[in-house]
């Protein structure tokens, strides 16, 4: 199974500042020449997860452009360029390259 490891486990960032969450997989998630099977989700308390990013860097429709995804191979990053109060949540990465479609353990993002 592919193991997904996120860092850090928790993060406190000031409003308007940049937040960066990392995700590392135990094998490459490259599906074809330039598509990585890696997604990012945001989950707020009492709600299901919300898809933010797929193919490692494609923003889901309606997601603010302060959210961006990057990375390649086995190392990926979710960046929030200017943290807003409504971004407080737990963020998960997930690989859908191989079954089981494993998730990272989650990163809790708070306001400093």
Partner 1 sequence: QVQLVESGGGLVKPGGSLRLSCAASGFSFSDYYMSWIRQAPGKGLEWISYISGKSIYTNYADSVKGRFTISRDNSKTSLYLQMNDLRVDDTAVYYCATAGASDFWGQGTLVIVSS
Residues of the shown chain interacting with partner 1 in the complex, contacts defined by CB under 8 A: 1, 37, 39, 41, 43, 48-51, 54-55, 60, 90, 92, 94, 96, 99-106
Residue 25 C-beta: closest distance to partner 1, Å: 14
> Which residues make beta-bridge pairs with 40?
53, 93
Nearer to partner 1, 28 or 102 (CB): 102
Closest to partner 1 by CB, 33 vs 61, is: 61
Residue closer to partner 1 by CB (options 33, 99) is 99
Q: Which residues pair with 34 in a beta bridge?
A: none
E strand or H helix that includes residue 21: strand 19-25
The two tokens of residue 36 are 């990585």
C-alpha to C-alpha distance for 82 and 33, rounded to whole angstroms = 31
């Amino acid at each position: 199974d592919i193991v997904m490891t996120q860092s850090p486990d928790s993060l406190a960032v000031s409003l308007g500042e940049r937040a960066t969450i990392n995700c590392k997989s135990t094998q490459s998630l490259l599906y074809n020449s330039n598509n990585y099977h890696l997604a990012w989700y945001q989950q707020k308390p009492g709600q299901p997860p919300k898809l933010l990013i797929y193919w490692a860097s494609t923003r889901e429709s309606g997601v603010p452009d302060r959210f961006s995804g990057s990375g390649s191979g086995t190392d990926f990053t979710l960046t929030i360029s200017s943290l807003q109060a409504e971004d407080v949540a737990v963020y998960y990465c997930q690989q859908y390259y191989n079954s089981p479609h494993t998730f990272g353990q989650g990163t809790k993002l708070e306001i400093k």
